[in-house]
Amino acid sequence: MVSRSSSLPYVAVASTTIAFLACGGASTTNTDPSSSGSSGSSGSSGSSGSSGSSGSSGDADGGGTIDSGIEFASATVCTSKTMWTRADRGSSSMHPGRACIDCHSGEARAPSFTIAGTVYPTGHEPDDCNGVAGGVTVVVTDAAGKTQSLPVNSVGNFYSTTAITTPFHAKVVRNGVERAMVAGQTTGDCNSCHTEKGTNAAPGRIMAP
Ligand code: HEC
Ligand code: HEC
């Protein structure tokens, strides 16, 4: 009953105890257990946890914005355990994870997308691995203030042929919770940066919130 909701207080108590014991064991001149206890507990355990998680993305919009630093430390996995196996046969479910526009621009029969990519459940998934099975919307707001909401399909792919003015901003939304890209971008070929490991400074895949 108590332990369930009190992990932080529990940690604070533990480190207070450790600080107090360490203090006594070292026989320092500090004879005030309450002051050594509070500096020990307020310092390391409480705040290092939160700065660790907010470290890399630093996009503190508040509200429902997810802070993703920790999840991008995960190993590569194909969470869906299902892959695209039909080579370059045209389909809205084709080649999840690969750079759609880069390939399409050299294929006369392929549609000309302005925006295209794939949303995954984790930060590092291999090419052709199917992504999230729907339920996520990619929201792109261009430099002219025009917004497009693109639902992802059953393999996580999304795409648009609507013209955009660059640079644009993008975020991924699920049930009102979102992950937003801080920087504006000038290419809509999202997977060209959001590769398995991430290129051009991207942290990895576009990850669902
Ligand atoms: C390696 C090349 C390649 C990649 C990568 C690729 N495509 Fe395609 N795509 C094609 C080609 C070629 C066609 C036209 C095929 C045809 O007409 O049979 C096509 C056609 C399509 C079509 C039209 C299908 C139809 O029914 O007419 C859609 C939608 C599509 N691609 C979406 C995507 C998306 C989304 C991505 C990225 C997640 C992607 N493609 C990645 C080569 C590619
Ligand atoms: C030229 C490279 C590039 C392209 C293209 C690009 N991104 Fe990004 N993206 C980044 C970089 C770098 C970051 C990390 C810094 C930031 O947030 O600006 C990022 C971060 C993100 C994040 C936040 C990641 C997280 O969870 O912390 C999302 C969501 C995202 N991008 C979505 C998209 C979408 C959707 C598209 C296409 C419409 C796209 N990106 C195109 C480089 C790119």
Residue 81 Cβ contacting ligand 1 at under 6 Å: no
Q: Do residues 83 and 196 touch, judged by C-beta distance below 8 A?
A: no
Measured in angstroms, how far is the CA atom of residue 135 from the centroid of ligand 1? 22
pLDDT in tens, 72-111: 989 999 999 999 999 999 999 999 999 999 999 999 999 9
- With a CB cutoff of 8 Å and minimum separation 6, the contacts of 134 are 151, 152, 153, 154
Per-residue pLDDT at 56:
37
C-alpha distance from residue 24 to each of 20, 28, 45, 83, 99 (Å): 6, 7, 20, 60, 61
Task: Name the residue at shortest CA distance from atom 13 of ligand 2.
Answer: 202
The sign one gets for the Cα dihedral 152, 63, 8, 53 is positive
Measured in angstroms, how far is the CA atom of residue 27 from the centroid of ligand 1? 71
Q: Do residues 111 and 188 touch, judged by C-beta distance below 8 A?
A: no
Q: Do residues 157 and 127 touch, judged by C-beta distance below 8 A?
A: no
Please tell me the number of the ligand nearest to residue 157's CA: 1
Confidence band, pLDDT 50/70/90 cuts, at residue 71? confident
pLDDT in tens, 182-195: 999 999 999 999 99
Residue 170 Cβ contacting ligand 2 at under 6 Å: yes
Closest C-alpha to 93, from 26, 177, 152: 152
60 residue type, one letter? A
Please tell me the number of the ligand nearest to residue 101's CA: 1
- Strand-by-strand arrangement of the 115-120 sheet: 157-160, 115-120, 206-207
148 has which bridge partners?
Answer: 140
Residue 205 Cβ contacting ligand 2 at under 6 Å: no
Phi-psi bin for 120: left (phi > 0), alpha (psi -120 to 50), beta? beta
Per-residue pLDDT at 69:
59
pLDDT in tens, 14-70: 333 333 333 333 333 343 434 333 333 333 333 333 333 333 333 444 446 665 556
C-alpha distance from residue 118 to each of 88, 128, 159, 161, 175 (Å): 16, 10, 9, 16, 18
Measured in angstroms, how far is the CA atom of residue 136 from the centroid of ligand 1? 21
